[in-house]
A and B are shown apart, each in its own frame.
Chain A
Amino acid sequence: EAQVTQNPRYLITVTGKKLTVTCSQNMNHEYMSWYRQDPGLGLRQIYYSMNVEVTDKGDVPEGYKVSRKEKRNFPLILESPSPNQTSLYFCASRLHRDQPQHFGDGTRLSIL
């Protein structure tokens, strides 16, 4: 089944404790993105990747890192999480720019 898989689905952690949210897609898609969704603000793009080893900033990249060492994986790294990064996070992928995005089920992060 074609899908985008995020892990973990839920995480409660404390300020400053490094964490990684994994994202994997099995559709051989070139393009991948991370978004955060906050009430009243819709989805905002954090980082995107157009190919292996090619990543760039989206709208709200501060406090986040990503890597794209393989086509299928695009982890989101919070080196020193802070409470303002408490949010619902989505990973998405698409084959080409003129194709729709496929979304994962989301990761709900709470930073205390």
Chain B
Amino acid sequence: AQSVTQLDSQVPVFEEAPVELRCNYSSSVSVYLFWYVQYPNQGLQLLLKYLSGSTLVKGINGFEAEFNKSQTSFHLRKPSVHISDTAEYFCAVSDGYSGGYQKVTFGTGTKLQVIP
């Protein structure tokens, strides 16, 4: 079974400051890892994903994440946030095929609040 833990439900940060949103996962097999962003009353948009290869993954809107297998973490970072980054961020894990189809498990989300 796979699971995702996002310990921080809310993260307030001042505009132009750096931010890190934490994500830890558990899985019995190799994994694919994702970060999604959700703006109010909208669906999810993929920020970045780790499938294999380099552990540092760069995504859209200046975000990046680092896959750390030994710590089973996939923390999301941005060096300087903007007001427009205010949104809910979901970490997700997939162990590839399970029973013939991909199954993705989402964390509970972290609300990033950028303060002017």
Q: Are A and B bound to each other?
A: no
The residues of B with any CB-CB pair to A shorter than 8 Å are none
The residues of A with any CB-CB pair to B shorter than 8 Å are none
